[in-house]
Amino acid sequence: MKRLFLFGLTAALTACGGGGDDSASDAKMSLAFSDAPVDAAKRVCIAVSQVSIHPISGAETAWSSKSFLDASQDDGCTPPGESIPLNADSSPRFVYIDLLKYQGSASRNLLAGQTVSAGEYSQMRLTVLDGRAVTNQFDDGTPYSYVQQDDDTIKPLEVPSSQLKLDAFTITAGGTSNFTTEFDLRQALVLPGHEAYYKLKPRGVRLVNNTQVATLKGRVEGSLCAGALADQAAVYLYAPRSDDAYPDMADTDNGFYASAPVVSDGAGGYRYELGFVELGNYDVALVCNATEDDPAVAGDPLDLERALKAQTVTATTTLNLE
């Protein structure tokens, strides 16, 4: 059953960060990682071995783990008694990022102040080691890239072709361009029917310029969704619509942008937070049955309790669903 009340809200988001040293003669680039959490997982550990950027014209620029910040930081992903293998130059073969540690507006920096050529770039590629390969496993059998489920079961994590390919971007001259790779794991992380391993797909992974993003957050009234909010409901963000036919996560061509779960605020209430949202106009909806929305199957029926339109949201605005 669809319970939908339109309040007239389209969120026009404004900037919340970024920038750089405008006096610098060289263009520079920094890169961080952030995430919107996924259901039923304790850890989502990706083993990142390389980042490369590809200009419209000219040669690519690539960085190995030797250039990564906090290369020794493993986010708690390394199994007890094991250690990350080393390259010939004694740098770690990869750097661990547990995506579940950096939710909402939190992020982890990976590259900082790297000198690059200013201009238009067609793609950024993140090399993530495929956890299914025997050569990408620790001696105890733990995959390098893996998902630890709520029941502590560890399953390998596959990235198609071992590369996440992100869309075009621009690096400006005379300063530092700060980017964040934002993962919406509820959309990007898929467990196929065989349930032998997870897949991390580029769908639901966005590269955003930090000077052009905002954080959207607020309180959710506890009586909504018949009081069944925690572990079931989520807030969905959409491109503005003229009707109330809001799509599910898998129907990305129909305006779905990102999502965030509704969680307890620790004081008897509920809240949500969407970080690193690109500036623009959006519709915001409360979905009561979000855990039933399969990211691999289009057309799942959504139980929408609220859909908000036509309101301007600044960097400091809190949008409550009541």
pLDDT value of residue 30: 95
Share of the chain above pLDDT 70, in %: 89
For the ranges 129-133, 250-254, 303-307, the lowest mean pLDDT is seen at 250-254
pLDDT value of residue 314: 59
More confident residue, 71 or 322: 322
pLDDT value of residue 319: 76
pLDDT per position as a tens digit, 36-63: 777 678 999 999 999 999 999 888 999 9
Task: Check: pTM over 0.85? Answer yes or no.
Answer: no
The C-alpha angle with vertex 141 and arms to 138 and 143, in degrees rounded to 5, equals: 65
Q: What is the spatial distance between Cα 73 and Cα 84, in angstroms, rounded to a whole number? A: 10
Read off the pLDDT of each residue in 264-286 and give the average, rounded to a whole number.
89
Share of the chain above pLDDT 90, in %: 53
Q: What is the spatial distance between Cα 200 and Cα 295, in angstroms, rounded to a whole number? A: 11
Indicate the pLDDT class of residue 312, thresholds 50, 70 and 90: low
Sign of CA dihedral 6, 316, 98, 116: positive
pLDDT per position as a tens digit, 197-246: 999 988 889 898 988 888 888 999 999 999 999 889 999 988 888 888 88
Q: What is the spatial distance between Cα 256 and Cα 276, in angstroms, rounded to a whole number? A: 15
Q: What is the spatial distance between Cα 37 and Cα 8, in angstroms, rounded to a whole number? A: 28
Read off the pLDDT of each residue in 280-303 and give the average, rounded to a whole number.
89
Residue 16 has pLDDT above 50, yes or no: no
pLDDT value of residue 295: 83
b or e along 92-111 (b: 16 or more beta carbons within 10 Å of the residue's beta carbon)? Answer: bebbbbbbbbbbbbebbebb
Burial (CB count within 10 angstroms: exposed 0-12, middle 13-18, buried 19+), residue 216: buried
pLDDT per position as a tens digit, 160-186: 899 999 989 999 998 899 999 999 888
Indicate the pLDDT class of residue 76, thresholds 50, 70 and 90: very high
Q: How is 13-37 classified by DSSP, letter by letter?
A: ----S----TT-SSEEEEEEEEEE-
Which of 298, 230, 306 minimizes the C-alpha distance to 268?
230
Q: What is the spatial distance between Cα 97 and Cα 214, in angstroms, rounded to a whole number? A: 23
Give the strand pairing for 154-158 and 198-200.
Answer: parallel
How many Cα atoms sit within 13 Å of 179 on the Cβ side? 24
Which of 270, 282, 185 minimizes the C-alpha distance to 232?
270
Q: Cα 11 from chain centroid? A: 20
Sign of CA dihedral 15, 21, 23, 29: negative
* DSSP state at residue 256: E
pLDDT value of residue 99: 93
The residue type found at 181 is T
| 164 membership: H or E segment, kind and range | strand 163-166
pLDDT value of residue 17: 41
Residue 1 has pLDDT above 90, yes or no: no
Q: What is the dihedral of CA 274, 277, 281, 287, to 10 degrees?
A: -30
Average pLDDT, the chain: 86
